[in-house]
Amino acid sequence: MREVTIEIWSTKPRVNDAYTIYEKDMLLEEIKKTYNTDNSNRAMSFAKRFVKAMRRNGELENQEATTIRVC
């Protein structure tokens, strides 16, 4: 069993000369999920699919950054 922590952050833009970098600003939500696998790469893949589905369903905005950690 692998536990995955998904953090959703709001971002703020920082404009440089020719490009914009979005920095993490404030933690909005933390989601903990447990996957029935011992392989950390597989758990990461499941978590990425979960985040992708959240974006597709409109639960995440483009300005929100995500961080995924496998424990």
Confidence at residue 54, expressed as pLDDT on a 0 to 100 scale = 93
Number of domains making up the chain: 1
Nearest to 67 by CA among 1, 11, 19: 11
Q: At residue 63, does pLDDT exceed 90?
A: no
Angle at 15 between CA 10 and CA 20, to 5 degrees: 70
* pLDDT in the model for residue 43: 95
| pLDDT at position 61 | 85
Mean pLDDT of 32-59: 94
* Residue 5, beta-bridge partner list: 32, 69
The model's pLDDT over 6-43, given as tens digits with 9 standing for 90+, comes to 999 999 989 988 999 889 999 999 999 999 999 999 99
Q: What pLDDT shows up at residue 35? A: 94
42: containing domain:
2-70
